[in-house]
A and B are shown apart, each in its own frame.
Chain A
Amino acid sequence: MTLMHTHTTKTAPLIAAGIVAMLALSGCSAGGSIAPAADAKQLTGGTVSYGHQQEPACVYGGWIEQAYLSYQVLDNLLSLDENHKIVPWLAETWQASDDQLSWTFTLKDGVSFTDGTPVNAEAIAYNFDYWANGGNSTAAVWLGGYYESAEAIDDLTVKVNLAKPYPLFAENLTQSYFGIQSKQALETRTEEENCAAPIGSGAFTVGEWNRGENIELIRNDDYNSAPANAKHEGPSYVEKVDWKFISDATTRVSALRAGEADAIYDVPAIEWESVGEQGYEQLKYITPGRPQQISFNTAKGIFTDENLRKAFVYSLDRESIVDTIGKGVIPYEGNGAVSQSTPGYSEKAADAYSFDLDKANKLLDEAGWTERDDDGYRVKDGETLDVQFPYAAGRIINADGAAILQGVQEQAKAAGFKVDLIPIPASAAASGKYSGEDGYDISVGYWTSVNAGIQYIIWRQNLQESPNPSNAAFYNDPALEDLIIRANSALETDEQNALYAEAQEYIADRALSVGLYDRLSTLAVNPSLKDVWQESSQGGPVFHDAYFVG
C-alpha cells in the first residue's frame, strides 16, 4: 500500500516530466518539405479530402454552413467575382425594368439538373416561390417585403416581379441560399431526400453521407454550367471531394499536417503562422455583411441610456484584445453595422470610438453611477452596474471569440461594469430563450451578406404589424429604417454607398452596435492541390477548378 503510495507520489512528477518530454518530441513535428517537386505536373482525377468544421442537418438550407455545402451541388443564377462584380452563372443576362419593379433573367441553354430535367424558366420560377414560402428561411428573409411573383416568359426567360425597387436584388442572388434545385426533385422527392441530397445542376452531386463523419461529393461528369468567374468550364478535374467533418480546430490542423486532409476550413489564429511557415497555401476571406459585433438592448435595462452605451464602448480597448487573441490574423472591426469587406463601408463609423477610460468614467459618473463596491463595480442606489451578456458558445462564438469576450469583460470591469458572460448551450440559444427584450443587455453575433443591405434586415423596425426579431438592439427608428430603405433602392452605386455609410454612422453615433472583429472564412491547402479558391459571396471553398500536381 504505502510503498505503492510513496511510489506514486515519487513517480507523479516523473509522469509529468515524461508527458512534457513526449509533447516536446510531438510538438508539431511533421515539418519536412511538403512542397511538390518543381517539375510536378497536373494530375487528373483523385479525391480531395477536405476537413470542414460544422455538420449541418441538411445539405441545403438557410445556415451558412449549408450554403458552403450546397454551393458544391447547386448552381445559382448569378455569381460574384473577386472584384465584387456580378457575373453570369445559370443566367447569361439579367436586366431590371426601368421602374425597377421587375427583373428579367435569360438562362444558359442546354443545362440540365443531375436528375436529367432541364434547367428552364419554369424551374427557376418554381424555386423563387419555394424560397419565398420558407423553402430556405434565410432566402425568405432576403426576399421578404420585396418579392411578389416569378413567371416563365419562355423556356429560357424568367421574369421576377418586386413590390418595391431592389437594386441589390441581383447581387443577393449570388448567395448560395439561392441555389437552384430541380423542380421535379422538389415536387416528387421526400423531404428527407431533398435534405440529404438536393438535386441541382452543380459541379458535384451528393454521394454517401456518413453522418458524423463525412459527405462524399461526386463529380458531375456532364457539368457544363460553371460560373463566369470559374477557372475552367466543364466537369471538375477531381473525381470526388471527401467533405470530412472535423469539429475540433486543432484536430483539423493536425489532419492537414498529417496529410489526412488536403485542405481544411477555419484555421485557428494560433496555428495560422506556423501553417504558413510549413508551406501550406492559405486563403483568407473577410466575410462581408455584419461583423462579429455587440448590440445594446435599447429597449430595456441600463443601455436604454445612450451615455451608458458610449461609456461601455469607451471602456474597451477592442483593438488590443482582438490583436492579442487574433494573433494578427483576425482583423479588428470597429464598425458595428457592416464589415470592412462590405461595399459602402464607413471608416468614420469604424473609428467613432477608441479606448478612453476617463471618458467612460466621466460618463458613468454623470449618469449617477458614482459609488463602487469592494470589487470595484459601480453601484447606484444599491444596484450594481450589471450587464447581462449571453452568447451562443461554440455555434456563433468560437474559442477565439470566447477569449475576446472575456477580454471585453475584463476591460469593462475597469470602468466599473459587472459583465456577466453567459455561455448559452446551443439548444437554449436556438430556443430564443435569451433573444427577447429581457434576455440580455448586450448580444453578440454576425450575419454574412454580400452587401450593406444586411442593415435593412437588422435595423428595420420591430413593429406589431411587421415584426423584425432580427433587430437585436430593439431599436425602432423610422429615420434609420427610411435611410436604409433609401439606400437599398438607390440606383447609383456611389449614392447608395453614401447612404449606407450614413446609416452606419447613424448607428455608430448612437452607439447602438459596435464592432469587435471580422468574421473570417479561412482555408489552408496542401500545395500539391492547386486552384482551390473561395467564392466571393460567402467565402466557401470551391473545388470545381481544383487539381493535384505530382
Chain B
Amino acid sequence: MTHTLLARKADAPAPARGRLTVSPRTRSVIDKLIGAVVVLWGAATAAFLAQIALPGDRATTILNVRSGQTQLRTPEELAPINAEYGLQNPIVVQYLDYIGGLLRGDLGISYQQHRPVWGIIAEQVGATLTLTAVTLVLAWLIMVFWVTLTAGRSSRIRALGSGVDTVTAGLPPYWLGIILLLVFALGLGWFPVIGGAGANGIVLPALTLAIPLAGFMGQATRTEFERSLDAPFIVTARMRGMGDLSIRLRHVLRHAVLPAVTLSGWAIGSTISGAVIAESLFTRPGIGRVLIAAVDSQDLPVVTGIVVLVAAAYVITNLLVDLAYIVIDPRMKNS
C-alpha cells in the first residue's frame, strides 16, 4: 500500500479532491461551524420530539409527580397546569416557542422545580465536569504508566500488559464501582461511602470510570506504541545513546497517543451516560441524575436543556480533539 501512495504523494500533493476555489482549510472551518449548529439543533429537536412522543399526558405527570400519585386526573385539576406551561398549545407552537427560547439562550422553567433550567444545569454541571476531568486524568496516568511499563517488553510481560488492558476494558463500570465501594469504602474505610462534593470523595467514582477507560485507551495506544518502538527514528535515538525509558517517554509516547486522544474525546462526549452510574452509585450530585429525574417527571425543559448542553459539550470536545491532534502531530495541519 504505502509504497504507491507514498510515491504518489511525493509525486504530487494528494490526488483528486482538488477543488480550485476556496482553500480547503477555510472550508473545513466553515463546515465545522455549520456542523456544530446542525448538531445542536438536531439534538435539541430530537429531544423535544422524543419527549412529546412519551406516553400519557404531561400535565397529569406533572401533577402526579407533585403528589406522589399515579392516578388519572380530572380536567379541572389539569387546567391550571396546562395553562401555566402552555401545554394546550399545538405541538408546532410549543416547538417554535422552544426553539425561539434556545436562540435567545433561554432554556425555560422546570415544571417541577419552578426555576430556570439554566440554574439547575449550572448547579449540577460542576460536579459532573469535575468527575469527568478527574476521570480523564486518572485514566491517562494509569494508561501511560502501564503501557510504558509493559509495551514492547519480553513476550511474557507484553502478554500481561495487553491482558490487563483487555480485562479492564471489559469491566462493567457499575460492577467495578460496587466492588471498589465494598472494598475501599465499606471494608477498608479509606474513602467516604457518600461521594458528595468532597475531594477524597471523588477518588472512587473517578476510578470507577477511569479504569475501564484506561483499558480502552491502553489497547489502542499499545499497538501504536509497539509499532513506533520499531520505527527507524527510534533506532536512531538509541544509536545516539538514548536510554530506553526516555525513548519511550520522549519519542514513542507522542506517536502512540493519538488514538487515545480520540477515545478521550469520545469519553467526554459520553460523560453523562457514564457518569450517571458513578453518580447514583456514590450518591454524587450531577447532570446524569438530574436527567433521569427529569425524564421520570417529564420535566421537558430540563431534559431538552441538558441535551443541548451535552451536544454543546460534544461539539466543543471535538474541536479540542482536533486541536490536540495538531499539537501532537503538527503534520496534520495540512490535512
Contact with B along A444-455 (1 / 0, CB 8 A): 010000000000
User: Given the complex, which residues of A lie within 8 Å of B4, measured CB to CB?
Assistant: none
Are A134 and B114 in touch, CB under 8 angstroms?
no
Contact with A along B259-300 (1 / 0, CB 8 A): 000000000000000000001111111100110010111100
Are A427 and B298 in touch, CB under 8 angstroms?
yes
Are B298 and A431 in touch, CB under 8 angstroms?
yes
User: Given the complex, which residues of A lie within 8 Å of B114, measured CB to CB?
Assistant: 58, 190-192, 195
Contact with B along A14-37 (1 / 0, CB 8 A): 010001001101111110000000
Are B196 and A22 in touch, CB under 8 angstroms?
no
Q: What are the nearest 4 A-B pairs in CB distance?
A: A431-B56, A26-B187, A63-B68, A3-B159
Are B120 and A425 in touch, CB under 8 angstroms?
no
Tell me whether B45 is interfacial, beta carbon within 8 Å. Answer: no
Tell me whether A521 is interfacial, beta carbon within 8 Å. Answer: no
Chain B interface category by residue count: 35 or more
CB within 8 Å of B: which of A188-210?
190-192, 195-196, 210
Q: How far is the CB of A354 from chain B (nearest CB, A)?
A: 30
Given A429-B70, A432-B64, also A251-B112 (CB < 8 A): no
Could you tell me the distance between the alpha carbons of A269 and B166 in the complex, rounded to whole angstroms? 39
Which residues from chain B sit less than 8 Å from chain A, CB to CB? 54-58, 60-61, 63-74, 77, 80, 110, 112-115, 120, 123-124, 127, 155-156, 158-163, 166-167, 179, 181-183, 185-189, 192-194, 196-197, 279-286, 289-290, 293, 295-298
Given A246-B194, A254-B185, also A11-B290 (CB < 8 A): no
Tell me whether A436 is interfacial, beta carbon within 8 Å. Answer: yes
Are A436 and B179 in touch, CB under 8 angstroms?
no
Tell me whether A38 is interfacial, beta carbon within 8 Å. Answer: no
Tell me whether A371 is interfacial, beta carbon within 8 Å. Answer: no
Could you tell me the distance between the alpha carbons of A366 and B256 in the complex, rounded to whole angstroms? 76
Interface residue stretch chosen among A90-98, A110-118, A233-241, A255-263: A255-263
Which residues from chain A sit less than 8 Å from chain B, CB to CB? 1-8, 11, 15, 19, 22-23, 25-30, 51, 55, 57-58, 61-66, 134, 137-138, 190-192, 195-196, 210-213, 244-248, 251, 254-255, 257-258, 260-261, 392, 395-396, 425-436, 445, 467, 469-470, 472
Given A23-B183, A62-B67, A258-B185, also A57-B113 (CB < 8 A): yes
Given A248-B280, A254-B193, A258-B189, also A427-B54 (CB < 8 A): yes
User: Given the complex, which residues of A lie within 8 Å of B295, measured CB to CB?
Assistant: 427
Could you tell me the distance between the alpha carbons of A289 and B84 in the complex, rounded to whole angstroms? 33
Are A430 and B65 in touch, CB under 8 angstroms?
yes
Closest residue on chain B to residue A137 by CB atoms:
B67
Partner of B179, one of A19, A25, A469: A19
Q: Beyond A63-B66, A427-B61: 5 further Cβ-contacts under 8 Å?
A: A211-B124, A429-B70, A430-B70, A430-B296, A431-B60
